[in-house]
A and B are shown apart, each in its own frame.
Chain A
């Protein structure tokens, strides 16, 4: 365990406050009866009521959940294959290009990804008549493409820790390669696949820029609706939405970290 001085502790806590104060303020404001941020109009749930009667927001939220679910699942399948191929298949022709393609979306500005995918879809429609216009399909394809890179990285680092000896052991005991993959690799990868899926879901659910390029009329995702609302200024029902989202994610993250911490402590004691 590294030891640090008081200065580091002070700076770290100040940094964490910087991260949390705006979130905290937003949560408090969601219960503010007044529309003005600077006036406390009493504790009220009225923005939550307004939020749940706003069909536009609710529809967009439902669309975003579906898009994120499909994209994350597709991204996990493709990203797992990509990560597995890169760590376990040894050299093959085009391996370097593949490694590059997997790493690139991490540093690719979203505006470029969005624009390039839109131009591809337009050209494809021109040549083969598919996809017809922009829809949920084009959003899912685009999201899966940039999310699979994140999944591949998570899978790769997990596989690198695992070293291939367990798969070899399974093959040595008579399992064909795909059988060894199902019996040994997948169960070992499960935690990485779950966190990869959650990561992909979050990235897709949160994406504004790429969706704006590749979505068509009538398929506005939640971030797109929020963006058009908040461009015009503070909107209290967005505060309520943010509070619900953060509360949900926060609960999940803390349950997870509490359990992981307890497991660690048990390992330390053992």
Chain B
């Protein structure tokens, strides 16, 4: 990790990160929930923390909100050290996974709650609540109680309540987790629109990779309390740093292979599982004879009936099963070595005519830029 000079004044220049998480660790008794995480988030960014349950993502979020204190390290928001600052004095608001709407207050009272605590004048509260409810399209429901709203409406009220104080940072804990699939897709885009409209910095915690990929300008993958990789959606999908990230984001075929040639422009690896040789169009920093891992996404493999030219980046097999998903089909191919791999192909033709069938003998082939070599 690079070393940064501490103690810069508030406000910050363009180079100064808006939220700085400085090597923080959180222990609960003997378990380490968050392990030495170091992360910078820029102003107006929509950052997603992605991880499975128990990965520490929610604990990290709760430390940002002020519900938990880090065991080590510190958090700075807009240059201010947040150590010892309780939740009710932080310029941060949170949208809870369960929404946590106060059931005994109406929609507008829920939204006004934070402003009332901040000592804002009555007239202004009324105006800001009305404006915010319009932004989330809940203006007509201001007098309803939370139990009279649908899941999607509750979600929007929770968002309005968290945003109306104009926090410097908005934390969203599984913001779409309680919605059904269709509503979730619509809401994702609405959330992004509101975020770019208001310019607030968002940190979203989710276990859903599709949600993270759609929402985030940048995302971080967490595993066992550690931040494994940070980058844009494309970086994480195409250039995963290890097998965990490759498997966590999207479907993947993973192989073990031995490095047999390593040049600056290309490398070759022999793979017992495919019974052939991988030719990749980039150099690998490793020693010859070393065992490495290869990740090959299902959509980057092509199926052909006739044996292609050349012996590299190809594997013969028989189609075992086909799952028709509408826009594409997933083929399970048993290679001659016995290994099963997944291949997806778009369904370009509406007629069955030329389509593959189970039992067909096929050749799986891919290009030199398709497979990723993983160090671990």
Contact = CB atoms under 8 A, between A and B. Distances in A.
Contacts of B92: 172
Contacts of A179: 117
B100 A168 contact: yes
B96 A165 contact: yes
Contacts of B114: 173-174
A166 B103 CA distance: 9
Interface in A171-224: 171-177, 179-180, 183-184, 187-188
B65 interface: yes
Contact of B93 (A166, A173, A183): A173
A171 B86 contact: yes
Interface residues of A, number: 18
B218 interface: no
Interface string B111-127: 00110011000000000
Contacts of B65: 168, 172
B145 to A, nearest CB: 12
A246 interface: no
Nearest to A165: B100
A169 interface: yes
A141 B92 CA distance: 46
Interface string B89-115: 100111010101011100000000110
A167 B301 CA distance: 52
Interface in B150-197: 161-162, 165
B102 A166 contact: yes
Contacts of A168: 65, 67, 87, 96, 100
A135 to B, nearest CB: 41
Contacts of A166: 100, 102
Given A165-B96, A165-B98, A183-B113, A172 B87 contact: yes
A174 B118 contact: yes
A63 interface: no
Contact of A172 (B93, B102, B103, B104): B93
A212 B317 CA distance: 92
Contact of A171 (B87, B98, B104): B87
Interface string B67-96: 100000000000000000011110011101
Contact of B113 (A165, A170, A176, A188): A170
B96 A174 contact: no
A180 B66 CA distance: 15
Contacts of A175: 88, 113, 117
A188 B100 CA distance: 13
Interface of B: 65-67, 86-89, 92-94, 96, 98, 100, 102-104, 113-114, 117-118, 161-162, 165
User: Sorted from nearest, which 9 A-B pairs have the closest CB atoms?
Assistant: A173-B114, A174-B117, A169-B100, A171-B87, A187-B104, A165-B100, A171-B88, A172-B94, A175-B117
